């Protein structure tokens, strides 16, 4: 038996040796083009980026700095004012997420005053950091002796968002003051935890993925190794500190089994998404097949049995997460906005790791529906949860006590450029159809890529491919599942007749071109010349969507989809009611143009059966009426009212009052 000191040293050396060796491998099929290198000119998304920059971020600043005590806590910790901590123990994270959104915004929408505001906040954060690198106003201002004693108290979660904000701000501005704060925090954490040191299980996962970002920025392998070690701690039951009541069930924080052995989705949805994103990031750098297999298996459990048609996840409000398979209620759906943001993050990583388009299909579904629904068209009100049926009691709110969602959706929209393009030495990936331009470095030269489209309203996509000189490489354009006939991978939802639609056009310079379909991508492998113009047209048919029979909430019901968008009927467009609408199988559904506030949308119209109670309340009248459906992300922008995604196809026991 080795003495304790030497045994711990041996464990540390062994772990480092394995991680360092694995870090030479990679499973990643391509890497994404950084948002800062993508210029977005898109008719759909560009106004939303502008709205986040000019409305949402100022709302976040006002709430963070004036209407809540978040910034005041940093001022007190920095010695700039007197007072005591106010708020919730994870409130620091909202400051960091707002800073991350600001960082992306400064690239998309330069603003000297906004940058000055961010620099002022960063000065406070740096002044609040303790000499040993620790930073957390909840503990610093109240009971510093209790820091790092309770794994459920989000010290690591806050630190993860600090690191993400710091990396983003450095990337956007070149200023490293916040990055230096983040490095000191990471080094502080590393001095306490790791092989041969203290055990620790992150209570709310986030630090894992943030450490990989820090590794990518600094090239310091210790941060990658620390992220890997944090993942390896889960399910081992070595750490102590489960003092929060939620932790009586360790599955709540995905801690019941080691990550490499996990096969089912459990617990809190946002924590799960951040953890699996972190595992994907680690696998991308280390080549860890154990993480890969676990993530593929868990992903199938999510998408095949536990995901809403909107791409939302986490049906249960009691644990803000998952319950049992096929438990997908509509009116009581939880579907936290942050969980949909997490689905975008995780599926982006899975797409890069595998090169398979099905992950980007799910990313797109979450982005355009479950996540985008979380912010109002005006950019100033938010949903925390996102129901799929409403009796009129839900309404968007200015802010929340737990305010994770507003800054989270803001940072997602501002960083949209991260999700559009990918590349390796000899291939370029077009994942999302967003009007934009970038320049991609292949093995031998730079290639300009420019996408033009009116997506998601129209299916025509033009892609300019312009290398500096002629060269052979592959262009891989995602072939969406909603075109190929797959509503979602795994068959939880299917289209009527599962009909597959062919492309109506794919040409280069107006000439037909040969292509193959591989892993959900249209692959054009050829010698490209400057200013080659690819033209693709996806059919934008209206799809009727059905659930598996195990989803009891959707029995005898149908949802409507066009392109990537899920639709809903809203009382505002239908005589004040939506829960009394029946859409027969024989009803023809057609498109129409409409404005929802200032948003120009393609809406859907159909001749449906509308039920109403006759005078006296004893009889029900059924009449044929034209009804209208709008994109799900636009609902509840014209006032609270009834809403329904899954429409009954025959007269059932439905609510009509």
| Whether residue 60 lies in the annotated active site | no
Of 164, 206, 320, 364, which residue is the catalytic one?
A: 320
Tokens of 88: 């919730």
Residues 334, 317 contacting (CB under 8 angstroms): yes
- Write the DSSP assignment of 8-58 as a string of letters: HHHHHHHHHHHHHHHTT----S-EEPPGGGEEE--TTTHHHHHHIIIIIHH
Residues 436, 417 contacting (CB under 8 angstroms): yes
Q: Which residues pair with 607 in a beta bridge?
A: 626
Of 60, 404, 405, 568, which residue is the catalytic one?
A: 404
Residues 556, 652 contacting (CB under 8 angstroms): yes
The three-state DSSP-derived secondary structure of 436-487 is: EEEEEECCCCEEEEEEEECCCCCCEEEEEEEECCCEEEEEEEECCHHHHCCC
116 burial type by CB count under 10 A (0-12 exposed, 13-18 middle, 19+ buried): exposed
Residues 561, 543 contacting (CB under 8 angstroms): yes
HSE-CB for 486 with a 13 A CA cutoff: 16
Token pair 């059932």: residue: 652
d(CA 640, CA 642): 7
| Whether residue 338 lies in the annotated active site | no
d(CA 462, CA 177): 42
| Cα-Cα-Cα-Cα dihedral sign, residues 30, 35, 37, 40 | positive
d(CA 507, CA 512): 4
Q: For residue 62, what are the CA distances in angstroms to 66, 71, 398?
A: 5, 10, 11
Residues in the chain: 657
Residue 165 in 3-state DSSP? helix
Tokens of 270: 């946002």
Largest CA distance in the chain: 87
Q: Which residues of 71-84 are buried (b: 16+ CB within 10 A; e: fewer)?
A: bbbbbbbbeeeeee
Residue 547 in 3-state DSSP? strand
456 preceded by a cis bond (ω within 30 of 0): yes
Residue 413 in 3-state DSSP? helix
**The pairing of beta strand 427-430 with beta strand 471-478:** parallel
- Write the DSSP assignment of 579-636 as a string of letters: TTEE--TT--EEEEEEEETTEEEEEEEEEEEEEEEPTTSS-EEEEEEEEEEEEGGGTT
Task: Please give the helix or strand (H or E) that residue 274 lies within, else none.
Answer: helix 269-286
Query: Mind telling me the catalytic residues?
Result: 320, 404
């Amino acid at each position: 038996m080795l003495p304790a000191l030497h045994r711990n040293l041996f464990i540390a050396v062994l772990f480092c040796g394995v991680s360092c060796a694995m870090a030479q491998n990679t499973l990643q099929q391509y890497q994404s083009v950084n948002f800062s290198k993508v210029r977005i000119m898109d008719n759909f998304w560009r106004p939303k980026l502008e709205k986040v920059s000019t409305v949402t971020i100022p709302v976040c600043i006002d709430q963070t700095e004036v209407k809540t005590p978040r910034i005041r806590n940093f001022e007190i910790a920095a010695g700039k004012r007197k007072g005591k901590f106010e708020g919730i123990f994870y409130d620091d994270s909202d400051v960091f997420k707002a800073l991350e959104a600001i960082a992306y915004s400064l690239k998309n929408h330069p603003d000297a005053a906004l940058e000055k505001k961010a620099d002022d906040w960063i000065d406070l954060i740096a002044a609040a950091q303790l000499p040993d690198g620790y930073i957390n106003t909840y503990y610093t201002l109240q009971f510093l002796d209790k820091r790092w004693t309770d794994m459920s108290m989000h010290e690591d979660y806050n630190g993860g968002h600090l690191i993400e904000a710091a990396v983003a701000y450095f990337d956007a501005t070149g200023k490293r003051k916040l990055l230096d704060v983040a490095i000191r925090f990471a080094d502080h954490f590393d001095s306490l935890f790791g092989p041969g040191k203290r055990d620790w299980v992150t209570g709310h996962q986030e630090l894992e993925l943030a450490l990989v970002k820090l590794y990518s920025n600094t090239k310091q392998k210790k941060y990658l190794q620390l992220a890997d070690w944090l993942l390896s701690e889960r399910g081992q039951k070595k750490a102590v500190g489960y003092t929060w009541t939620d932790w009586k069930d360790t599955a709540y924080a995905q801690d019941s089994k080691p990550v490499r052995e996990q096969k089912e989705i459990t617990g809190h949805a946002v924590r799960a998404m951040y953890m699996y994103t972190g595992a994907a990031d680690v696998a991308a750098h280390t080549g860890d097949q154990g993480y890969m297999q676990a993530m593929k298996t868990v992903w199938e459990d999510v998408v095949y049995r536990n995901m809403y048609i909107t791409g939302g996840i986490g049906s249960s409000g009691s644990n803000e997460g998952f319950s049992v398979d096929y438990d997908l209620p509509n009116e009581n759906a939880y579907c936290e906005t942050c969980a949909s943001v997490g689905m975008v993050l995780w599926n982006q990583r899975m797409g890069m790791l595998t090169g398979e388009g099905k992950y980007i299909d799910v990313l797109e579904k979450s982005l355009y529906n479950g996540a985008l629904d979380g912010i109002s068209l005006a950019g100033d009100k938010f949903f925390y949860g996102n129901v799929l049926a409403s009796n009129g009691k839900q309404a968007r709110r200015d802010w929340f006590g737990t305010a994770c969602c507003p800054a989270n959706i803001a940072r997602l929209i501002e960083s949209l450029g991260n999700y559009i393009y990918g590349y390796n030495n000899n291939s370029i990936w077009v994942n999302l159809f967003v009007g934009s331009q970038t320049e991609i470095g292949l093995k031998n030269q730079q290639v300009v890529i420019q996408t033009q489209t009116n997506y998601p309203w129209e299916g025509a996509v033009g892609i300019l491919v312009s290398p500096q000189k002629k060269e052979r490489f592959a262009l891989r354009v995602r072939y969406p599942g909603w075109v190929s006939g797959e509503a979602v991978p795994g068959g939880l939802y299917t289209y009527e007749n599962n009909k597959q639609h062919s492309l109506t056009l794919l040409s280069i310079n107006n000439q037909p071109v040969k292509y193959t379909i591989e892993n959900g991508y249209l692959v054009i492998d050829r010698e490209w010349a400057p200013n080659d113009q690819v033209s693709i047209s996806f059919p934008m048919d209206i799809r009727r969507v059905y659930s598996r029979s195990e989803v009891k909430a959707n029995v005898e019901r149908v949802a409507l989809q066009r392109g990537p968008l899920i639709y809903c009927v809203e009382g505002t467009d239908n005589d004040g009611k939506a829960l009394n609408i029946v859409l027969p199988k024989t009803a023809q559904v057609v498109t129409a143009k409409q404005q929802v506030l200032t948003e120009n949308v393609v809406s859907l119209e159909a001749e449906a059966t509308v039920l109403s109670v006759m005078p006296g309340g004893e009889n029900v009248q059924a009449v044929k009426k034209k009804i209208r459906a709008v994109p799900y992300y636009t609902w509840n922008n014209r006032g609270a009212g009834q809403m329904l995604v899954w429409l009954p196809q025959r007269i059932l026991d439905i609510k009509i009052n």
